[in-house]
Amino acid sequence: MPSLQQGNRQQGFGLVETLVGMVVGLVATVIIFQVVSTYEGIKRSTTSGADTQQNGSFSLATIERDLRAAGWGMPTAAIMPCTAYFAYYSTGAASGPVPNFSGAPVRITDGGTAAGASDSITMLWGTSIRSNVRNMLLQNATINPPGTPAANLQPTSKVGLSGVEGFVWMTDDDGRCTLTRITASDANPASPDSVVLTHATATGTATQPTYNPPADVMTTLGWPTSFTKNPRIFDIGTFTQRTYSVAGGSLVSQDFFSSMTQVQLANNVVSLKAMYGISDAASQVVNNWVSATGSWAAPSLDEARRIKAVRIAVVVRSPLKEKMEEGAQACTTTTTAPTSWPGGPTIDLSNDADWRCYRYRAFETIVPLRNVLWANLQ
């Protein structure tokens, strides 16, 4: 009887199957890696875009808020026609005329046309309502300038003295306007119907600057030594002079009547541009936009009255530096510099060799100077 032979069965994977499985696994791994890499790139771009939006919106809103406050608590040019302004500060380590102080509610300093140049904007406002309603704090006052032995103001009326604090304007019909800080208010023993407003001098510090110059400094800086032609005082209250500018890739502000410390407000702000909106004389309608150059770099009294609005643009850069495409010799993420607005100032970012590797967004708005408009309409 013939013997039966039983065949042996193979078990497990052969070499071919193993190699095929490895190839499939590698392909799947590459696909997964590409999907994850693409997703992470999109997520980074989306996150950086959100940061750009946040920084730009915050920067624009902050500047706009203070522009709308500009001019509050300031006497109008019609009732205080100043031909010369005097303002002083001392921090102990530094002293002199307050930088960028023009007496105008808003002053733009043009940054020029160099690569990376930005403008700066300075705004003034007070907290007193008296100046806005055209009421003088004191009339026919006997005014002794700061630094004199008396070092006080002797008003002949007590009108509104209960709220006196902070700063006042001292002026007369000669058009000289000095900014002075009141340091004390006391009864005048020589006259029951008047008070003595002291504006003593002192040496300031970096955190507590002073604003009344001593006599020798007044002489050096050419301050008025007396006010004799219809002298009068206007209450300002707490006074603010705030300057916005771009420094080191950030929006910064500096208050010259508080701590004077430069404060960083928002990151990745690369440019700030601004223009005046001006009207014809005796009009409230803006019919032209001008840069702060030429005669508008330091507007005259009549020109300053024509400034009714400010147009600003803030350019913000994405915090994410995009990678160059494979084989590329230069970044092409951004090929054209952002624009402020149609027909507006040119923005040149070429001071940064890698500027094309970033994304940018410009935030722009027009801010009417409402306090200036209301004052001129009265």
- By CB atoms closer than 10 A (0-12, 13-18, 19+), residue 94 is exposed
Among residues 242, 252, 251, 367, which one has the least CA distance to residue 315? 251
Total residue count of the chain as it appears in this document: 378
pLDDT in tens, 319-336: 888 877 776 778 888 889
Q: Is 75 helix (H, G, I), strand (E, B) or coil?
A: coil
The answer on pLDDT for 232 being more than 90 is no
Q: What does pTM read for this prediction?
A: 0.80
Which single residue is written with the structure tokens 């408009």?
373
pLDDT at 40 over 80: no
pLDDT of residue 347: 93
Torsion of Cα atoms, 307 then 86 then 84 then 66, to 10°: 10
Q: What is the mean pLDDT of residues 301-313?
A: 91
User: Each residue of 95-119: pLDDT tens digit?
Assistant: 889 888 888 899 999 999 899 999 9
Is the pLDDT at 304 greater than 90, yes or no? no
Residue 276: pLDDT over 90: yes
The predicted-structure confidence for 147-203, as pLDDT tens digits, reads as follows 554 445 666 555 445 445 688 888 888 888 889 888 877 777 777 666 777 788 888
pLDDT of residue 235: 80
Using DSSP's 3-state secondary structure scheme, residue 230 falls into coil
